[in-house]
Structure 1
Amino acid sequence: MKKNKFDKAYWDNRYKDNKTGWNIGYASPPIQGYIEQLYDKSTSILIPGAGNSFEAELLWNEGFNNTFVLDIAKQPLENLKNRVQDFPNEQLLHQDFFELNKKFDLIIEQTFFCALNPDLRKPYAEKMFQLLKPNGKLVGLLFDFPFTESGPPFGGSLDEYENLFSKHFKIKILERSTNSIKERQGKELFFIFERL
């Protein structure tokens, strides 16, 4: 695998230079809708490549205290801690996603997959499988627009995602999101994948 140019230094600089166009300042509505129907507060949840992680803030405020946030850049983790001061430091994981070794009931995908070097898409699917407990779920949003080399974000298609994830997951839902923010309407797929 060639060297990943979207490494820790790259993302640290994006935050330092305030080049965070994916940051909408609140939980993404499709993911918020999913979170609002969760009921088991003991569910272990991971949000990888979480950025400023307004989804983690929402989960924490709803009593999901077994939520973990991972990012290779330190600044977004500090931003979350500044907003949610009682969020436990040991649940803020400043590390490479591919080096994590823990199991979760639920992993939430929000603008992480599209930010990775496209060479890492297959390893991403394999790592998600490894990180989930049996019958665990990978839930979130994937971009639905033609793939270009000019990312991140990098696009993709429903067919690509079906081929990539069906080896490790039962595809329960993979469909056009109906409640995306205005700027992303028609460009997002909401999904629920269950670990095989």
Structure 2
Amino acid sequence: MATDSADGSAQPELFGGNPRPAEVQPLFTSSKSPEEYATQWDVLWKDGKTPWDRGGPSMALNDLLLEFPEVFSPPFEGKRALVPGAGRGHDVLLLASFGFDAYGLDHSATSSKASRENEEKNKGLDVYSTKGTKQGKVTWLTGDYFSYDFSDIGPFDLIFDYTFLCAIYFEMRPKWSKAMKRNLAPTGKLVCLEFPTRKSTSVQSTPLALPSIVYESLLARPGERIPYGKEHAVDVKNLGPESPDRLVRLKHFTPKRTHKVGYDEESNVTDRISVWSHNNS
């Protein structure tokens, strides 16, 4: 299904089965300050306008943890996982079902309240249960991920990013890569479910287009500004050298299944998964 973008061109629908409310669009522009930007998300939560909510956990993440034990080293009991921009907390509950002590952080207090309600509603349901595994502890946090003090609970053995990076503008991206490195345990893994990969980088509306080169460029240079060129695509020719403190990519592939919004019109998966760790070379 396609919807018309602000410039009149047809764009893939990027928010699942629900049309995006027209009034959401003007709330997010690169001219807003980070504080104004974050406040807008809480406004949407309070108004019940959450078209980005997928209604359930990521099966791509579920399959990843099951299929690559050599990367993630189960069992997960006692290990800590974090989902920044947790929304309604579906993926936090999934990680807890694998045994992680799972933390969901969102800037919106209304979102955190919705997460607690979602946890209560789904207790005991099979969608959040892994046979033979003791459920990990779930903790909901409210605050700004880029400045949040995790010293009492972090760093994390697993961090999961999905629809978080795509929701922040270019000026904040260096903070994203720096925070990911800072909050990842020495042997931890950052998992990115890359989305949206098929949206044009020229369309400046959330979710912003995220081809794989964006993750590659940012995580190879944590905290550094990345050059963008024509139509807001990464200017690869003018990228600086990779940092010695970079994160390195361990896995990169198309998952077997993902959320409905991650398929094209021919039912092909368009999402990608990348797994990152600290540079130990």
Q: How far apart, in 1, do the equivalents of 2:116 and 2:274 lie?
A: 28
Give the 5 Å matches for 1:32-181.
32-36=62-66, 38-64=74-100, 66-85=101-120, 91-102=139-150, 103-143=155-195, 144-145=197-198, 146-167=200-221, 168-181=246-259
**Aligned residue type for 2:109:** K
Q: Which segments of 5 or more consecutive residues in structure 1 lack a partner in the other structure? A: none
* Counterpart-to-counterpart distance in 1, 2:36 and 2:208: 12
Partner of 1:29: 59
Q: What secondary structure, in the 3-state scheme, does the structure 1 residue paired with 2:111 have?
A: helix
With normalisation by structure 2, the TM-score equals 0.62
Q: Note if contact 2:107-2:145 (Cα within 8 Å) is conserved in structure 1.
A: yes
- SS of 2:34's equivalent? coil
Between 1:7-16 and 1:80-89, the stretch displaced more is 80-89
TM-score (norm 1): 0.87
Distance change >3 Å, CA 63–CA 137, structure 1 → 2: closer
Deviation per CA, 1:17-56: give whole Å up to 9, x if none: 2222221111011012234464221111111001011111
Equivalence for 1:18:
48
**Looking at CA atoms only, which structure, 1 or 2, has the larger radius of gyration?**
2
Match of 1:4 in 2: 34
Q: How many residues align?
A: 194
Quote the Cα distance in structure 1 between the aligned partners of 2:43 and 2:56. Answer: 22
Which letter does structure 2 place at the counterpart of 1:123? K
Q: Please report the RMSD computed on the Cα atoms of aligned residues, expressed in angstroms.
A: 2.4
Q: 1:57-99 deviations in whole A, cap 9, x for unaligned?
A: 12233432x211100011221122123249978x311000011
How far apart, in 2, do the equivalents of 1:74 and 1:182 lie?
Answer: 27
| Structure 1 residues 60 and 159: alpha-carbon distance in aligned structure 2, compared to 1, 3 A threshold | closer
Structure with larger RCO (C-alpha < 8 A, sep 6+): 1
Residue 69 of structure 1 aligns with an amino acid whose one-letter code is G
Report the Cα distance in structure 2 between the residues aligned to 1:93 and 1:182, rounded to whole angstroms: 28
Please say if residues 48 and 97 of structure 1, whose CA atoms lie closer than 8 Å, have aligned partners that are also in contact. yes
